[in-house]
Amino acid sequence: MTAKKLAFHEDARERIRRGVETLAEAVKVTLGPRGRTVVLEREFGPPQIVNSGVVVARAIELEDRFENMGAQLLREVAARTSESAGDGTTTATVLAHQMVQEGLKYLAAGMNPMDLKRGMEQAIERVVAELKAMAQPCATAQEIAHVAAISANNDSSIGDLVARAMDKVGRDGAVSIEDGSGMTSELEVVEGMQFDRGFLSAYFINEAEKQSCVLEEPAVLLCDQKLSTVQDLVPLLEAASKAGAPLLVVAEEVEADALATLVVNSIRGVLRTCAVKAPGFGDRRKAMLQDIALMTGGQVLSAELGVSLEKATFEHLGRARRVVVDKDSTTIVGGAGDRERIRQRIESLKAERREATSDYDREKLDERIAKLAGGVAVIKVGAATETELKERKLRVEDALHATRAAVEEGVVPGGGVALVRARKALQGLATGNLDEDSGVKIVARALEEPLRRIVLNAAQEPSIVLDRVEASPERAFGYNAARCEYGDLVEMGVIDPAKVTRLALQNAGSIASLILTVDCLIAEAPRKETERAGSLAAAREME
């Protein structure tokens, strides 16, 4: 076992604080319509310019191990928020940083960290309820465009693209983001579908930033049985390799040696592959596989249908222009299926729906019809340079996630105003415990920090703006940092998804309250040069 180094009490908290501070300072400069950008060094290629909090957070590793612990704990706030909401990562980081700062002051005054944590939890629960009550439905295309534009750093062209994409394929439809070939971004709707099954192993990931697997021009193997042995796959793997096509495997289950073979081929670069569990259960799974086969122009390998896995050839596989797989879903773009046959299947399903007697059957048939008829909206992002392209794609992705969140739980006034207004839920909240009351105060102070930071990034005085916002009785009155003017933020289109704001606060409070309870840090002790030299000498003697 390697030696460890430890830090205790005030020293531990100070080292954690420095790490939190370092990461927060790098992330919070990106907040708001006038937020700055961050340049990331890359091992290969030109530096990357980003305006995304979670991308900045992921790039940070500190030399001091204890300080790095603080940075990584704060990074977890951004990662959790990105995973659950897809946006709001910078807001969550700013909130958590302020809670830690305020909490450490109370700890220095001798207050109990566990009581502070309980007080913070009670306060956040109250504020979340207030945010939910404040939310208004996001129903129109204009509102969707406003949400998308705000999330894309106030880029109205991106907002319009995302709104049009959602209008074409529906609020729950599949939207894919690709590199464009020119300077301008454009929207295209193609044959394709999305289903709620993700990759069976994280080793298939080839897009680290998005935590997804992207296959270009892949072959699609569809099978209604379990694949567990290498022999099940070798002939088709060899055929795909000869054809120079990546391989997507969709089966009832892919396990043991079969899964290991696919993973090894991907890792070694022999053949890019990905394995996905077939959607649905029982007869519905078989029907969904048939729909995917129709969409991709392939056949389901099934003994019942007379095409067994042993007799299958490359011609039995489907094809697609592109497939994107993440941990939760699979999106097939540009399937090679015959459009007339797809249209006939849709008409057949509609007739079947009219004959259905149960709401459940009708609901499932509606899902299948929507997947076949809806297609996939492809946003092709254009830019002048590769660096600009990457930055714009990140903003489009943020905008898409934000609009989905807005449709799900509604919208609240943006610009940090919703959190400031939600502080009224804490008025009169007395826990009967002085330390817990201090936990409430920690949250109350943190709620104003996103607004302060947005204003500061716009080169204005935060305290003056905050005082004027709080003095107004109007719920939506706030400061539009993009225009540097006050007014009704909802009318101006400055709105945020309620879900994003809620999750940013909850995730920030969860991590910050845990950081405040830390009293000991343990990390690997760096080996001294003398120890290394001694180890080498001992090794030579043994030889």
Query: Does residue 221 sit in helix, strand or coil?
Result: strand
User: What does the pLDDT look like over 75-109, one tens digit per residue?
Assistant: 999 999 988 888 899 999 999 999 999 999 999 99
- Domains of the chain as residue ranges with CATH: 4-136+410-523 (1.10.560.10), 192-333 (3.50.7.10)
Helix axes 156-169, 141-151, angle to 10 degrees: 130
pTM metric for this prediction: 0.77
Taking only the tens place, the pLDDT of each residue in 107-120 is 999 999 999 999 99
DSSP secondary structure string, 310-355?
A: TT--GGGSEEEEEEEE-SS-EEEEEE---HHHHHHHHHHHHHHHHH
79 conformational bin, left if phi > 0, alpha if psi -120 to 50, beta if neither: alpha
413-456 pLDDT, tens digit each = 999 999 999 999 999 888 889 999 999 999 999 999 999 999 99
Element containing residue 276 per DSSP (H, E): strand 273-277
Is residue 445 within 8 A of residue 423, CB to CB? The reply is no
Buried b (16+ CB within 10 A) or exposed e, 225-245: bebbeeebbeebbebbeeeeb
Residue among 144, 154, 165, 52 nearest 393 (CA):
52
Q: State how far the Cα of 367 lies from the Cα of 362, in Å rounded to an integer.
A: 9
pLDDT tens string, the chain, 543 residues long: the values are 688 999 999 999 999 999 999 999 999 999 999 999 999 998 888 888 888 888 999 999 999 999 999 999 999 999 999 888 888 999 999 999 999 999 999 999 999 999 999 999 999 999 999 999 999 998 788 888 999 988 887 888 999 999 988 888 877 678 888 888 888 899 988 778 888 899 999 999 998 878 899 999 999 999 998 998 888 888 899 999 999 999 999 999 998 899 999 999 999 988 999 999 999 888 889 999 999 999 999 999 987 877 888 888 999 999 999 999 999 899 999 888 888 998 899 899 999 988 888 888 888 888 888 888 877 888 999 998 888 888 888 889 888 988 989 988 999 999 999 999 999 999 988 888 999 999 999 999 999 999 999 999 999 999 999 999 999 999 999 999 999 999 999 999 999 999 999 999 999 999 999 999 999 999 988 766 445 545 555 555 555
